[in-house]
């Protein structure tokens, strides 16, 4: 056996120590990189921020949406219920929505001072004072009246904040078309839902499709919205947001409107 002299032993000990230090540093750097690595793919985040800013900066816009919600019949068979939504927005404090299906028709009017709910089928309406902004009117409708407003994240003053507040992870899926329109497909995950958004490619990055999967519910039902007829050119006058009740319409307390309203599509 070859003997190792003292100098060689010192070099050997130094090499071992250096190796251990390098190994510890590498492990720490890997762990730190894994911890610091963003949960959202940068490209997905960039595209989501872009569409959010585009909507937030628009002084007025309108769109239409065809929406489908999974539902179960009494025998357990799954079906889809469909509704149509038309929305008109003028920032910061004008909002009008019309939600229609084969059996229901409801209008929401907000003129910056008064929030009005109108049931067109049963021909009654309720109203309440809500001075402020669209955000405050949305909060009042959801928090005080228990309403569920489809696609409300597109209407608020800061869509990006609403979109990202509960995101756990997100990724860019890739290019695809929606009704022939080139789009970018993104997918995000939260604690109780997964959701996907298709954003129009090019200079007008508007949402064209949205799918929400409710993971915490039996059989994970889905909500789907196809969004069309985006209009950023038509100026929306005050009369669009003013409610003029039909002569035969009955005015009732808004809390009764809440009690009588039909079950709405989520989000």
Count other C-beta atoms under 10 Å from residue 25's C-beta.
10
Burial class (CB in 10 A: 0-12, 13-18, 19+), 69: buried
194 close to 30: Cβ distance less than 8 angstroms: no
Peptide bond into 92 cis (omega under 30): yes
How large a percentage of the chain has pLDDT more than 70? Answer: 81
∠76-187-175 over CA atoms, to 5°?
115
Tokens for 23, please give them: 């190994």
Residue 29 has pLDDT above 80, yes or no: no
State phi, psi for 230 to the nearest 5 degrees. Answer: -65, 135
State the average pLDDT for the chain. Answer: 86
Cβ proximity of 236 and 109 under 8 Å: no
Q: Is the dihedral of CA 249, 255, 257, 259 positive or negative?
A: negative
What is the b/e burial string over 234-267, where b = at least 16 CB atoms within 10 angstroms of the residue's CB? Answer: eebeeebbebeeeeebeebebeebeeebeebbeb
In the chain, where are the structural domains located? 42-260
Q: Say if CB 122 and CB 144 are below 8 A apart.
A: no
- Listed in sequence order, the DSSP H helices in 152-252 are 159-164
Read off the pLDDT of residues 209-227 as tens digits, 9 standing for 90 and up. 999 999 998 889 999 999 9
Q: What is the pLDDT of residues 90-132, one digit of tens each?
A: 999 999 999 999 888 999 999 999 999 999 999 999 999 999 9
CA 21, 27, 30, 31 dihedral sign is: negative
Q: Which of 23-32, 123-132, 233-242 has the lowest mean pLDDT?
A: 23-32
Coil, strand or helix at 208: strand
| Residues sharing a CB contact under 8 Å with residue 223, sequence separation 6 or more, in sequence order | 67, 68, 69, 70, 210, 211, 212, 214, 265, 266, 267
CATH fold of 42-260: outer membrane lipoprotein receptor (LolB), chain A (2.50.20)
Alpha-carbon dihedral sign for residues 228, 229, 233, 237: negative
What's the pTM value of the predicted model, to 2 decimals?
A: 0.82
If we measure between CA atoms, which residue out of 168, 175, 173 comes closest to residue 187?
173
């Amino acid at each position: 056996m070859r003997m190792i002299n003292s100098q060689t032993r010192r070099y050997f000990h130094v090499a071992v120590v250096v190796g251990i230090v390098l190994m510890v540093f590498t492990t720490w750097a890997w762990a730190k990189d894994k911890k610091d690595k963003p949960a959202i793919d940068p490209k997905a985040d960039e595209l989501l921020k872009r569409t959010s800013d585009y909507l937030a900066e628009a002084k007025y816009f309108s769109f239409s949406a065809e929406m489908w919600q999974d539902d179960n019949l009494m025998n357990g068979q799954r079906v889809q219920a469909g509704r149509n939504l038309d929305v008109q927005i003028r920032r910061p404090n004008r909002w009008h929505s019309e939600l229609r299906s084969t059996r229901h028709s409801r209008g929401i009017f907000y003129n910056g001072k008064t929030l009005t709910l109108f049931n067109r089928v049963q021909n009654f309406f309720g109203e309440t004072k809500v001075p402020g902004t669209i955000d405050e009117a949305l909060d009042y409708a959801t928090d005080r009246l228990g309403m569920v407003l489809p696609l409300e994240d597109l209407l608020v003053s800061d869509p990006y904040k609403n979109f990202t507040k509960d995101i756990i992870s997100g990724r860019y899926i890739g290019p695809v078309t929606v009704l022939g329109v080139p789009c970018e497909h993104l997918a995000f995950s939260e604690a109780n839902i997964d959701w996907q958004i298709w954003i129009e490619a090019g200079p007008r990055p508007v949402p064209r499709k949205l799918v929400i999967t409710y993971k915490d519910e039996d059989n994970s039902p889905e909500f789907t919205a196809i969004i069309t007829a985006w209009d950023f050119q038509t100026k929306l006058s005050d009369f669009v947001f003013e409610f003029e009740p039909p002569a035969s319409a009955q005015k009732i307390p808004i809390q009764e409107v809440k009690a009588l309203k039909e079950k709405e599509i989520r989000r």
